[in-house]
Amino acid sequence: MALLEIKNLNCHYGNVQVLWDVNLRIEEGELVALLGANGAGKTTLLNAITGAVTPTSGQILFRGEDLCGMSTDLLLSKGISYLPENGGLFPDMSIQENLELGAYPRSMWGGRKQAMETVFQLFPKLRERRGQLARTLSGGERQMLAMGRGMMSGPKLCLYDELSYGLSPLMAKEAMGMVKTLRDRGMTVLLVEQNVKQSMEIADRAYVLENGRITLEGPCAELLEDDYVKRAYLGM
């Protein structure tokens, strides 16, 4: 059984259809990239998984259980962590306070100290600056904090939306390195990115979403050699 399986998913905003019969599968421990241009429907797919958008039809199965219609807090308690494009941090709260808010599920609150220690092991810079306000951090440090806060709920699946958005090329590369580290430690990740090359260099498999439809899928090593991918996304 796949950790996450999306079957024939269709989504609308009013009368406008945004996703068309989307099928996607993620096995436990995989790092899967979802690639596509602005407006392709990538964020809508994440919003459907996390309950912010109600699908018109289709299924979203997490360990075989259909998530459609579940509240966001229930999805969080089941082990799904979502990092939106802007990080969603509280700028006038400290690093430690932002992390503690990540232990929102009641089942995780008692283990928040241990969870925070795990985050600090992954991101030592956060330990050094735990009392610093989030708004004073650099772009790369804010992404570390956002990723760390997501880890505080003990997720089984992390969803990352445009993790490199607004970062310098150096910081974007560092952010991709953080994601790879999580995968190497056994975390399952769905990475939504416009940065096709960097995403496919770290991911196991990728799906290409164009105009609301999955048009390509496969191992990243194969897609990097695909003529269409080279021409349309890598400028080759």
SS3 18: strand
85 lies in a domain? no
The enclosing H or E element of 227 equals: helix 227-233
Q: Mark whether 39 and 8 lie in a shared domain.
A: yes
Q: Is the pLDDT of residue 63 over 70?
A: yes
Write the CATH number for 42: 3.40.50.300
Per-residue pLDDT at 107: 66
State which of 127, 155, 183 marks the end of a domain. 155
**E strand spans, 27-149:** 31-35, 57-62, 65-66, 80-83
163 lies in a domain? yes
Q: Mark whether 74 and 115 lie in a shared domain.
A: no
Q: Mark whether 113 and 69 lie in a shared domain.
A: no
Q: Mark whether 216 and 227 lie in a shared domain.
A: yes
Q: Is the pLDDT of residue 235 over 80?
A: no
Output 131 or 77, whichever has higher pLDDT: 131
Confidence of residue 106 (pLDDT cuts 50, 70, 90): low
pTM for this model (two decimals) = 0.91
The most confident of 3-12, 102-111, 223-232, by mean pLDDT: 3-12
10 lies in a domain? yes
Per-residue model confidence as pLDDT tens digits over 138-153: 888 888 899 999 899 8
Q: How far is it, in rounded angstroms, from Cα 51 to Cα 202?
A: 28
* CA-to-CA dists, residue 85 to 82, 88, 166, 191, 229, angstroms: 10, 8, 10, 11, 24
130 lies in a domain? yes
86 lies in a domain? no
Per-residue pLDDT at 22: 98
Q: How far is it, in rounded angstroms, from Cα 141 to Cα 186?
A: 23
- At position 130, the amino acid (one-letter code) is R
Per-residue pLDDT at 74: 84
39 lies in a domain? yes
Strands 205-210 and 57-62: unpaired
Q: Mark whether 143 and 167 lie in a shared domain.
A: no
Q: Is the pLDDT of residue 111 over 80?
A: no
Q: Mark whether 67 and 168 lie in a shared domain.
A: yes
State which of 139, 155, 171 marks the end of a domain. 155
Instruction: Return mean pLDDT, the chain.
Output: 90
Q: Is the pLDDT of residue 154 over 80?
A: yes
Per-residue pLDDT at 105: 62
185 lies in a domain? yes
State which of 136, 155, 174 marks the end of a domain. 155
Angle between helix 169-184 and 139-151 (nearest 10): 20
Structural domain count of the chain = 2
84 lies in a domain? no
Q: Mark whether 109 and 225 lie in a shared domain.
A: no
Domain range holding 202? 4-79+156-233
Q: Mark whether 123 and 217 lie in a shared domain.
A: no
DSSP bridge partners of 152: none
Q: Mark whether 229 and 161 lie in a shared domain.
A: yes
Residues in the chain: 236
Q: Mark whether 99 and 68 lie in a shared domain.
A: no
Q: How far is it, in rounded angstroms, from Cα 216 to Cα 206?
A: 8
Q: Mark whether 36 and 54 lie in a shared domain.
A: yes
Interval 211-224 mean pLDDT: 95
Q: Mark whether 72 and 161 lie in a shared domain.
A: yes
